[in-house]
């Protein structure tokens, strides 16, 4: 099981890898369907993942503080 503090890193790395792979599809897929997919999914996913990573870091910091105060 991963520690909470590393989950944001794992998610961020997975997003980066997905964006690289998505970029690779551009050479063979250049139609309107790709542009719609980009707009509807990829463009929406990137800021959502980054927001989730930020939230995870904040949650980890809060949990660490609670542990310290309750010890």
Tell me: the pLDDT tens digits for 9-43? Answer: 899 899 999 999 999 999 999 999 999 999 999 99
Percentage of the chain with pLDDT > 70? Answer: 93
End-to-end CA distance of the chain: 24
- Residue 4 pLDDT class (50, 70, 90 cuts): low
For the chain, the average pLDDT equals: 89
Query: Whole-prediction pTM value?
Result: 0.73
pLDDT at 44 over 90: yes
Instruction: Tell which wins on pLDDT, 5 or 56.
Output: 56
Cβ-count burial of 50 within 10 angstroms (0-12 exposed, 13-18 middle, 19+ buried)?
middle
């Amino acid at each position: 099981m991963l520690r909470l503090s590393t989950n944001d890193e794992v998610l961020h790395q997975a997003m980066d890898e997905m964006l690289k792979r998505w970029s690779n599809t551009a050479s063979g897929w250049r139609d309107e369907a790709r542009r719609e997919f980009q707009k509807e999914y990829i463009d929406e996913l990137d800021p959502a993942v980054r927001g989730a990573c930020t939230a995870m870091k904040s949650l980890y910091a809060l949990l660490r503080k609670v542990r310290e105060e309750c010890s």
